[in-house]
Structure formats: C-alpha cells, structure tokens
Amino acid sequence: MNFTERLLASQKTRQSLLCIGLDPDPRKIPASLQHAENPVAEFNRRIVEATADSVCAYKLNLAFYEAMGNRGWEILRETLAVIPKDVITIADGKRGDIGNSSEMYARSIFKDFAFDASTVNPYMGFDSVQPFSQDPRQGVFVLALTSNPGAKDFQYLKVGGKPLYERVVRRVKKWNIAGNFGLVVGATRPAQLRAIRTLAPGLPLLIPGIGAQGGDLKKSVRFGCNAAGFLALLTAARSVLYASANEDFADAARSAALLLRDEINRYREEYFR
C-alpha cells in the first residue's frame, strides 16, 4: 500500500480522523510526574496509552524534542516505541534544503526513527522535497497554507494571477505519482481549505489549528475531507495534552480526545453519509 492507502486504512479501521500533536513542554509536565525517572517520556507514554484508541495519527513536532538536547532524542525514540503500529506517525520538522541535506533529513526521519510521514517546506523546489518521497509507503506533507498570521507575508502573493499557495497545490498534485504526497492547510483558513480540497480532491490534508489555535472544527471537517469523508487529519495538541495539570491529566486527555473524535464523526455523519 502507498501512504495514502495506509492512512485511509487506519482512518476506516479506527473510525477516527483525529491526529494528536505530541509536543511536550517540560515546563507544563504535571507535578505528579516530576519525580519520575524521565518526566517527559512518562508524560508522553501516559498520553499515548490514554488516547491511542481514539486517533488515527500522532504528529510529533521535532522542535520540542530537539530543545531538550541529547535526552530529547531518547524521549522521541521512547515515545515512538509505545505508539501502536497501525497508528500513523508524522515527524513535524518542516524540513527542506538542497538535495544532499534533504537526503540526510529524510534518512534520519524515515530510516533512523522510522516515522511514517514528514512535513516538508517546498520553498526550495522539488529537489529539496524529492528525497522524502522515495518510498511510496512514506508520506510527504507539503506546506501549502499555514495557520500562523505570517502566512500572509508570502503564501498569498500572486504568481501569474494565482496565490502562491495554489501554485504549491497544483505542483504537489503533479509530484504525487506514487500516491504518497499530502498538503498542510491550517484550520484557521476555512475558505481557502475549501478551495484547496476542490483543487486536490484525492490528497490527504494535514489540518493543524483546531483546539487551542481556534480553528473552526465543523468547517474543517466539511471542507477538509474528501468526498467520502476521509483523508483529513484534524490535529490538536495543547487542548488535549494539557486538558488537566493535575494527576488526572491522562484521563482528562482521553476525555478531550474522545470528545474531539466524536464531534468530528458527528460532522462527518452530517455531511458525508
């Protein structure tokens, strides 16, 4: 199976489009874990065990692990080891460099850490993206339109009468020969999300920004899913990870994840069945 087929299988089996961002901040780890041998690794383990049956994917932002130095890389490996094999893992590093450098980034993400997918910045063109797309089973989520305010600095600029993000979408469609490319589109851009889904009806869309960032979940489901109600990855991090700062943090995370999953599925039922 190529990556898109793998993702679709996970979403259908688990009946979930929810992706949780495992982005641990050591400053926010509950006090009840501070005496653990490795508080952050223990925090991640407890979150995964509490939420794994409610998700189709986890997205791990590499910056949160890099910031912890050598121990952060160990925590990353320990976290990946406890994630069920049928759940998609996404390395969110937004890599993208000249060919040789991208080849090393891809080797680290896919060979060393064995992630299922990676986020990639297309600014330097296809040769910076191509090393991530070698194996059809491994996904490449290309930044198209991001949820941050600074997205307007470049992503909306007109190129030949079309916004740059639309040019990116059209180019990624051409690159998607093996069925393993997708797009990153922020949940805070519902009108543009709708337009992008129309342009790319068969591509997986990684949609960050629901939860703490305030993206519209209902519109993200309606405009982000394909015609069958799949291939959208609705992503939340802080609203799940830090649903409680007390000893019940794992139970609170589970409750938050289940509420999100069920709300997503209600909207899917409304729009696609």
Q: How far is CA 14 from the centre of its chain?
A: 17
Class of domain 3-272: alpha beta
- Give residue 71's identity as a one-letter amino acid code: R
Residue 20 has a CB neighbour count (10 Å cut-off) of: 29
Model confidence at 4, pLDDT cuts 50, 70, 90, reads: very high
Q: Is the pLDDT of residue 265 over 80?
A: yes
CA neighbor of 33 nearest in space, from 48, 19, 21, 44? 44
**Which of residues 87 and 188 earns the better pLDDT score?**
87
User: ∠ CA 137-11-147 to the nearest 5 degrees?
Assistant: 85
* pLDDT reading at 176 higher than 80: yes
Strand 162-163 and strand 158-159: the pairing is antiparallel
**Residue 213 pLDDT > 80:** no
Please say whether the beta carbons of 105 and 134 come within 8 A.
Answer: no
End-to-end CA distance of the chain: 26
The residue written with tokens 């989520």 in the block is 141
- Predicted confidence at residue 58, as pLDDT, reads 98
Average pLDDT estimate for 65-76: 97
3-class secondary structure, 249: helix
Question: In the predicted model, what is the mean pLDDT of residues 155-165?
Answer: 95
Confidence bin at 211 (pLDDT 50/70/90): low
State the catalytic residues.
94
pLDDT bin (cut points 50, 70, 90) of residue 100 is: very high
Percent of the chain with pLDDT over 70: 99
For residue 159, with 0-12 CB atoms within 10 Å meaning exposed, 13-18 middle and 19 or more buried, which class applies? Answer: exposed
- CB atoms inside a 10 Å sphere around CB 12: 12
Residue with tokens 């799940």: 240
Pairing, β 88-95 against β 232-236? unpaired
Q: Copy the structure tokens of residue 228.
A: 């069958």
Mean pLDDT of the chain: 96
The pLDDT of 121-145, averaged and rounded, is 97
Query: What phi, psi does 142 have (nearest 5°)?
Result: -90, 130
Average pLDDT in the 83-95 region? 97
The predicted model scores a pTM of 0.97
Q: What's the CA gap between 94 and 25, in Å, rounded?
A: 19
Q: Compute the distance between CA of residue 188 and CA of residue 182 in angstroms, rounded to an integer.
A: 18
Question: How would residue 173 be classed by pLDDT, with cut points 50, 70 and 90?
Answer: very high
**Distance between CA 19 and CA 240 in Å, rounded?**
11
pLDDT band for position 212 (50/70/90)? low
User: Tell me, what's the pLDDT at 99?
Assistant: 86
